Amino acid sequence: MQRLIEGVHKFRVEAFGRYRDLFHKLAHEGQHPQTLFITCADSRVLAELITQSQPGELFVVKNVGNIVPPASATGRTNSTSAAIEFAVEVLGVHDIVVCGHSQCGAMGALMRGGVDGALLPHFSRWLELAAPVRDVVNTLYFHLSAEAERQRAAEEENVLFALGNLLTYPCFQARLADQQLNLHGWFYRIGTGELFAYDPVGGQFQPLLPPAETKPA
């Protein structure tokens, strides 16, 4: 805790000045982020850092396993669905990124059959929202025997599962049709800092290239 308090003081004294005008503007004009960024609560995945974003640019949702519940899960109140609705309907974001990552403990637990429901009742129920991911991996990746390979497959399939679940929200259909909203599946490799983007044409994650190097569609 001492480290955190020292950090707060350092921010006020050394860093805030660099952002003073920007925060002043954001405080008076409100936030208008262009992107909803959904990623894992993992402490090694920092949305603003890996995208080099400024305050006010990203509306970030972090949850355990970057799981997106389907709209049909509204009976079970969850902050992720609330944030999705707010970002789309109120903030009017133009892009939604779901960013999975390597060494994801949640996906590892999912592939090992879940967690102890008596000890971790909330985590257990939350993780079961991604049970279809485990089924996909067991079906399509049955040839993978190493636990790490199966976890990696789950980490990537979980991103695609999340994108599919986003489509179940009623607020998405019209906006996607007239291209007011774009969905992106990303994958962050912790050990190297690399980002990959899902290519729906090729059906796999490809290195995320700088805009100038992006091949024409």
Q: What is the 3-state secondary structure (H, E, C) of the chain?
A: CHHHHHHHHHHHHHHHHHHHHHHHHHHHHCCCCCEEEEEECCCCCCHHHHHCCCCCCEEEEEECCCCCCCHHHHHCCCHHHHHHHHHHHHHCCCEEEEEEECCCHHHHHHHCCCCCCCCCHHHHHHHHCCHHHHHHHHHHCCCCCCHHHHHHHHHHHHHHHHHHHHCCCHHHHHHHHCCCCEEEEEEEECCCCEEEEEECCCCEEEECCCHHHCCCC
Select from 9-17, 21-29, 34-42, 114-122 the region that touches Zn ion (CB under 5 A). Answer: 34-42
Known catalytic residue: 135?
no
Known catalytic residue: 20?
no
- Please pick, among 24, 32, 44, 112, the residue that the annotation labels catalytic: 44
Q: Are 93 and 166 within 8 A, CB to CB?
A: no
- Please pick, among 42, 99, 134, 152, the residue that the annotation labels catalytic: 42
Q: Considering the complex, state which of residue 42 and residue 156 has its C-beta at the smaller distance from Zn ion.
A: 42
Q: Does 98 interact with Zn ion (rule: CB under 5 A)?
A: no
Q: Does 129 interact with Zn ion (rule: CB under 5 A)?
A: no
Known catalytic residue: 101?
yes
Q: Does 42 interact with Zn ion (rule: CB under 5 A)?
A: yes
Q: Considering the complex, state which of residue 136 and residue 171 has its C-beta at the smaller distance from Zn ion.
A: 136
Q: Considering the complex, state which of residue 80 and residue 172 has its C-beta at the smaller distance from Zn ion.
A: 80
Select from 16-24, 41-49, 86-94, 204-212 the region that touches Zn ion (CB under 5 A). Answer: 41-49
Select from 10-18, 105-113, 143-151, 194-202 the region that touches Zn ion (CB under 5 A). Answer: 105-113
CA 217 remoteness from chain centre: 25
Q: Does 61 interact with Zn ion (rule: CB under 5 A)?
A: no
Q: Where are the beta strands (DSSP E) in the chain?
A: 35-40, 58-63, 95-101, 182-189, 194-199, 204-207
Q: Considering the complex, state which of residue 106 and residue 137 has its C-beta at the smaller distance from Zn ion.
A: 106
Contact with Zn ion (CB under 5 A) among 36, 38, 40, 154: 40
Known catalytic residue: 171?
no
Q: Does 162 interact with Zn ion (rule: CB under 5 A)?
A: no
Contacts with Zn ion by CB under 5 A: the residue count is 4
Q: Are 74 and 170 within 8 A, CB to CB?
A: no
Known catalytic residue: 99?
no
Contact with Zn ion (CB under 5 A) among 60, 84, 104, 154: 104
Please list the active-site residues. 40, 42, 44, 101, 104
Residues in contact with Zn ion by CB under 5 A are 40, 42, 104, 106
